[in-house]
């Protein structure tokens, strides 16, 4: 019997051809990226293998059998990972209903998992400045890295969006980027003078034979892991702990905008969130910052109780 904690490689070929065909159809209909498609395949493969001892499949599993699977997942996965598996399975059964393969939806009446939202890790404005100034811009690599960091902080783009940027998506005269986000959704994001300055410096030096705005070695597309390692290197050099990830700059962008009075709806558009509920997590971070300001600056916090 396969345990819930067993390691399952991202290999969608382990799924049967019919199941993979259905998922490919979903991928086309919903505009999934390769990363999203692989995640769905991985989660459904995990569930499929946990159903095997009960001689059930992804097509005929009952609510009772799925509850047993979820109890095994509960012992092995975080709440967020359990929720992702349930979401993948719910999408799967909805597809089976739409295709007329199955009449019922066995997850329809199950209670939702209680998920504790963790506040995103961010950087204060001083640490961001230290990180941005860390690259040695006398070298071509350092200049590229400085420009990438400036642009990430100026726009709040995801690292996957950054590595996919081409020169055609950049409008220097309008200071705008046309960013291709999740589900191939486009959004226009402006950037400020500082990012524009470093972009101009980089454009004068970059390899014009590459299609990518920030190419890696031999003009090839950079990997997300490479950017993560570059940021970790600069953070370590500056003594910034804990070491930030590329997504930390996105969180810093959002948090600092809210701290300086940006509207939540505008922030949603800039970040490319489909739901404003996703953006609202940053209001909690801002509230924590406001509490800190009150504690440090308000005179009432220094008062002492009257003597009896």
Give the SS3 label for residue 186.
strand
Query: Can you give the pLDDT at residue 121?
Result: 77
Among the listed residues 178, 182, 187, 224, the single catalytic one is 182
pLDDT of amino acid 3:
37
Q: Which value, in Å, is the radius of gyration of the alpha carbons in the chain?
A: 24
* Residue 60 confidence (pLDDT) above 70: yes
Q: Is the pLDDT of residue 283 over 50?
A: yes
Selecting among 250, 256, 287, 298, the annotated active-site residue is: 250
In this prediction, residue 119 carries a pLDDT of 59
Does residue 251 carry a catalytic annotation?
Answer: no
Q: What is the pLDDT of residue 195?
A: 95
CA 282/CA 212 separation, integer angstroms: 31
Task: Respond yes or no: is residue 247 known to be catalytic.
Answer: yes
Q: Please give the helix or strand (H or E) that residue 270 lies within, else none.
A: helix 264-271
Contact at 8 Å (CB) between 286 and 259? yes
Mean pLDDT, residues 196-207 = 92
* pLDDT given at position 14: 76
Distance CA 271, CA 273 (A): 6
> Does the active-site annotation cover 182?
yes
Measured CA to CA, the distance from residue 104 to residue 80 in angstroms comes to 26
- Residue in this structure with the two tokens 């308000």, named with its chain if needed: 298
- Taking the C-alpha atoms of residue 289 and residue 129, their distance in angstroms, rounded to an integer, is 19
- Give the per-residue pLDDT at 50: 92
Residue-level pLDDT at 29: 85
User: How confident is the model over 85-139, as pLDDT tens digits?
Assistant: 998 999 999 999 998 999 999 988 777 665 555 556 788 999 999 999 999 999 9
pLDDT higher than 50, residue 299: yes
Residue 171: strand, helix, or coil: strand
Beta carbons within 8 Å of 262's beta carbon, 6+ residues apart: none
Residue from 130, 224, 247, 289 carrying the catalytic annotation = 247
6, 47 in Cβ contact below 8 A?
no
Burial of 270 (0-12, 13-18, 19+ CB in 10 A): buried
Across the chain, mean pLDDT equals: 84
Output the six-digit token pair for 49.
Answer: 């293998």
Catalytic residue flag (residue 158):
yes
How do strand 170-171 and strand 176-180 relate by DSSP bridges? antiparallel
Whether the Cβ atoms of residue 152 and residue 159 lie closer than 8 Å to each other: yes
> pLDDT at residue 196 above 90?
yes
Does the active-site annotation cover 103?
A: no
45 is written with which tokens?
A: 């493969």
pLDDT at 206 > cutoff 90 = no
Q: Verify whether residue 273 is a known catalytic residue.
A: yes
The confidence score (pLDDT) of residue 8 equals: 37
Average pLDDT over every residue of 263-288: 80
Which is it for the CA torsion 78, 79, 81, 85, positive or negative? Answer: positive
Give me the pLDDT at residue 243, please.
86
Do 199 and 205 contact (CB within 8 A), yes or no? no
Q: Give residue 226's pLDDT band: very low, low, confident or very high (50, 70, 90).
A: very high
Higher pLDDT, 303 or 123: 123
Q: How far is CA 122 from CA 6, 76, 167, 230, in A?
A: 33, 28, 29, 17
Highest mean pLDDT among 40-44, 116-120, 206-210: 40-44
| Position 296 confidence tier, pLDDT thresholds 50, 70, 90 | low
Hey, is 155 helix, strand or coil?
helix
Six token digits for residue 101:
């393969």
Exactly one of 86, 158, 251, 256 is catalytic; name it: 158
- pLDDT attached to residue 5: 36
């Amino acid at each position: 019997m396969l345990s819930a904690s067993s390691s399952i490689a991202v290999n969608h070929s382990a799924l049967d051809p019919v199941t993979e065909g259905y998922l490919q159809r979903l991928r086309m209909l919903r505009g999934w990226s390769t990363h999203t498609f692989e995640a769905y395949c991985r989660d459904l493969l995990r569930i499929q293998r946990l159903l095997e001892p009960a001689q059930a499949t992804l097509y005929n599993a009952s609510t009772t059998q799925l509850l047993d699977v979820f109890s095994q997942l509960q012992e092995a996965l975080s709440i967020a990972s359990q929720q992702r598996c349930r979401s993948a399975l719910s999408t799967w059964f909805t597809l089976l209903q739409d295709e007329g393969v199955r009449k019922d939806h066995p997850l329809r009446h199950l209670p939702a998992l209680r998920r504790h939202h963790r506040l995103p890790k961010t950087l204060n404005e001083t640490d961001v400045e230290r990180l941005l100034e860390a690259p040695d811009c006398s070298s071509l690599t350092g200049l590229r890295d400085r420009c990438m960091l400036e642009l990430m902080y100026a726009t709040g783009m995801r690292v996957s969006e950054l590595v996919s940027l081409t020169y055609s998506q950049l409008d220097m005269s309008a200071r705008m980027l046309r960013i291709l986000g999740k589900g191939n959704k486009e959004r226009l994001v402006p950037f400020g003078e500082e990012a524009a300055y470093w972009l101009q410096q980089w454009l004068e030096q970059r390899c014009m034979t590459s299609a990518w705005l920030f190419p890696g070695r031999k003009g090839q597309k950079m990997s997300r892991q490479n950017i993560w390692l570059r940021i970790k290197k600069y953070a370590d050099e500056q003594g910034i702990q804990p070491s930030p990830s590329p997504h930390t700059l996105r969180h810093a962008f959002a948090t600092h905008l809210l701290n300086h009075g940006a509207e939540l709806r505008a922030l949603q558009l800039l970040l490319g969130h489909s739901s404003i509920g996703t953006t609202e997590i940053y209001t909690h971070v801002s509230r924590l910052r406001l509490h800190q300001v009150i504690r440090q600056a308000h005179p009432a916090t220094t008062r002492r109780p009257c003597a009896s």
